[in-house]
Amino acid sequence: MNNAVAGFSKLSKEAKIDWIANTYFSNPTEAVKTIKQYWNSDVQLQQLHDEFIENTITNFYLPMGIAPNFLINGKYYSVPMVIEESSVVAAAAKSAKFWSTRGGFKATVLNTEKIGQVHFIFKGDRDKLQSFFNAIKATLLASTESITKNMQKRGGGILSLELRDKTAELENYYQLHATFETKDSMGANFINSCLEQLAKSLKEAAQNYVAFTEAEKDITIVMSILSNYVPNCIVRAEVSCRVEELAEKKIENPTLFAEKLVQAVRIAEIEPYRAVTHNKGIMNGVDAVVLATGNDFRAVEAGVHAYASRSGQYSSLSHAKIENGIFTFWMEIPLALGTVGGLTSLHPLVKLALEILGKPSAQELMQVVAVTGLAQNFAALRSLTTTGIQEGHMKMHLNNILNQYQATAEERKAIARYFEDHTVSHASVVELIENLRK
């Protein structure tokens, strides 16, 4: 079957849907019904969503939940989270409550520097290129003033600009390496606009540099783009308490629990197979808040995992220790986030989420996001080192299974009673449903 289509982007929304329905579904009417049932009845709101991306046909819903009782630097937060995975919000809330009675979370933004690069090819004398750069550096920076003016008023702008010689890795390859402060915006558009202007000014200046040969004047700009690796845009989150204060209903021996948790973290520090899953649990919390606040979770994921590999081996983002009877659990991660620009002023639920968080600055949001990731990690490690991860996870997953099999209210009551003292598994739930229906 040839499913190619010409001019799809030029079709109306209705025509796009009709083409999808008739091309891919045996029952086009039912497909159209499913697509349209997720449209918003408010026409203006639906148009707003339609214009977030291209070729929109409908909205894809994810649940938005709240994890309350996060005590961060002495202030309570209710944290909005957008995620589809069972037990994540519950685990975050449980960790938040646990630590709220043990001093809460401490969070510190260590740095907020972001990076962008102009990648270019120069076939000539590297010493002449360095002299050229030194001579025009001020001119390059001045050429961006119309772009940086408003950012500078807010205390941001271009922090530094340097020429980097990368010819040892790739023939004739150099970079303009720039660092930025973007204050409360994530800053992607600002950084990329600055870089494109720097590239244009670099190329123009080369044409007029008398020390260059004709060949050397022909600098080739390959690309100008920000980096999502932000190892100098770091936030630290931590919790600590006396070991005996870790005691609770499922932690009868707090010393053993603390020792096992420290060992679990050390395993993730040295074993990449474990570290990937360990860090994925952290990102369950991080991504959920990043999504709820209209930030770019793909950029965050890419930057965080690069940071986890900075030693040359992928490793745990979090760390734990016991010293002088004090248990400490902490994490430092790179987070380039914004609370102005992008979806933050457009998406109604993003605006709502930021209101719930008290209209945070970018730095405050960095702290909340990092703390949520640490809380999620603690919850996972607590389960893994005590009851096992599946007990709580499968109980939360039970609703998904019941919905899948369209369980009635009476069936749900009977199933809930049964699993009060039985282990939940997909097979056992299905078997029980089938027995109830016989």
* Per-residue pLDDT tens over the stretch 179-218: 999 999 999 999 999 999 999 999 999 999 999 999 999 9
pLDDT of 395? 62
* Per-residue pLDDT tens over the stretch 68-88: 999 999 999 999 999 999 899
Residue type, 203: K
Based on the domain organization, do 78 and 158 belong to the same domain?
no
The range of the structural domain enclosing residue 45 comes to 8-50
Q: Is 332 exposed, middle or buried (0-12, 13-18, 19+ CB in 10 A)?
A: middle
Based on the domain organization, do 129 and 174 belong to the same domain?
yes
Is residue 58 in a domain?
Answer: no
| Rounded distance between C-alpha atoms, residue 242 and residue 255, angstroms | 10
Is residue 341 in a domain?
Answer: yes
Dihedral, 188, 189, 193, 195 alpha carbons, nearest 10:
10
Is residue 59 in a domain?
Answer: no
Is 70 exceeded by the pLDDT of residue 388?
Answer: no
Instruction: Look at residues 389, 398, 406 and name the one whose alpha carbon lies nearest to residue 427.
Output: 398
CATH classification of the domain holding 321? 3.90.770.10
Based on the domain organization, do 69 and 176 belong to the same domain?
no
Neighbours of 171 (CB within 10 A): 9
Is residue 306 in a domain?
Answer: yes
Domain count, the chain: 4
Report the chain's mean pLDDT, rounded to a whole number.
Answer: 94
- Please report, rounded to a whole number, the percentage of residues in the chain having pLDDT higher than 70: 97
Based on the domain organization, do 245 and 216 belong to the same domain?
no
Is residue 57 in a domain?
Answer: no
Rounded mean pLDDT, 402-420: 84
pLDDT-based confidence at residue 33 (cuts at 50, 70, 90): very high
Based on the domain organization, do 322 and 380 belong to the same domain?
yes
Is residue 208 in a domain?
Answer: yes
Is residue 353 in a domain?
Answer: yes
The residue ranking higher by pLDDT, 408 or 103, is 103
CATH classification of the domain holding 137? 3.30.70.420
Based on the domain organization, do 178 and 135 belong to the same domain?
yes
CB 359 within 8 A of CB 77: no
Task: Give just the sign of the alpha carbon dihedral 49, 283, 335, 312.
Answer: negative
Based on the domain organization, do 244 and 377 belong to the same domain?
yes
* Per-residue pLDDT tens over the stretch 247-305: 998 899 999 999 999 999 999 999 999 999 999 999 999 999 999 999 999 999 999 99
Q: Which residues pair with 161 in a beta bridge?
A: 178
- Report the catalytic residues: 85, 280, 296, 393
Domain boundary among 227, 253, 272: 227
Domain boundary among 227, 258, 285: 227
Is residue 56 in a domain?
Answer: no
Based on the domain organization, do 270 and 357 belong to the same domain?
yes
Instruction: Look at residues 65, 77, 71 and name the one whose alpha carbon lies nearest to residue 98.
Output: 71
Structure tokens at 344: 């933050």
| Rounded distance between C-alpha atoms, residue 350 and residue 342, angstroms | 10
Based on the domain organization, do 90 and 125 belong to the same domain?
no
DSSP 8-state secondary structure symbol assigned to residue 253: -
Based on the domain organization, do 99 and 141 belong to the same domain?
no
Based on the domain organization, do 356 and 276 belong to the same domain?
yes
Neighbours of 258 (CB within 10 A): 25
Based on the domain organization, do 40 and 102 belong to the same domain?
no
